[in-house]
Amino acid sequence: MDSFERDTILCIEMEYADGGSLAQYLTQRVKRIDEREVLAIFHQITAAIAHMHHHHILHRDLKTANIFLTKEGQVKVGDFGISKMMSTQSVHAHTVLGTPYYISPEMCEGKEYDEKSDIWALGCILYEMACLQKTFEGSNLPALVNKIMKVRERERERERKNIRKIVIGREKDERERGERKH
């Protein structure tokens, strides 16, 4: 990666991800992704975000369209256009930014937020990979924000069941692991 300025225009060179975005990959799927693949992708995403947070950087626009894949199975987090470098004195941000499907409840309320808002977005990304649908949907922005703010226990239980399908392969008792379906 590199950057330079040409005729007062900032140019940023980035690594090419020949596998496209995670959003593209998910929309091309007709059936769910294998749980091991979901976890392999998610592990790489979380490692990248942990590295950013360690260096006091909030991404603030994590979404499947900003996660890029290579044909070799590498994951790249991109689009840092609205990311924020946090100082060691100020660990909260105030500006509401990001893509509505992935914004946290505290951002919806206009409250201060920190790296936990990126973690919220990671949860939304994991759900989307596991279920091939957005975590929250609404016909317009106020309806979407309302759904984010009023997560019902029934919806949380449905999420738990879907996420359980991802990790069921890690059960110690083989009878609890489920069967492989072809």
pLDDT band at 170 (very low <50, low <70, confident <90, very high): low
Residues contacting residue 165 through CB under 8 Å, at least 6 positions apart: 35, 130
Residues contacting residue 175 through CB under 8 Å, at least 6 positions apart: none
21-57 per-position pLDDT tens digit:
999 999 998 888 888 999 999 999 999 888 888 877 7
- Give the C-alpha separation, 106 to 125, whole Å: 18
85-108 per-position pLDDT tens digit:
444 444 444 444 456 888 888 877
Domain boundaries in the chain? 17-167
Residues contacting residue 87 through CB under 8 Å, at least 6 positions apart: 56
pLDDT of residue 162: 64
- Measure Cα distances from 168 to 22, 131, 164 in Å: 23, 15, 6
Give the closest residue to 76 by CA, choosing from 16, 135, 35.
Answer: 16
Active site residues: 61
- Give the C-alpha separation, 86 to 92, whole Å: 7
- pTM for the model: 0.68
114-135 per-position pLDDT tens digit:
778 888 888 889 989 988 988 8
17-167 to CATH, choices 1.10.1060.10, 3.40.50.300, 1.10.3720.10, 1.10.510.10: 1.10.510.10
Neighbours of 34 (CB within 10 A): 12
pLDDT band at 166 (very low <50, low <70, confident <90, very high): low
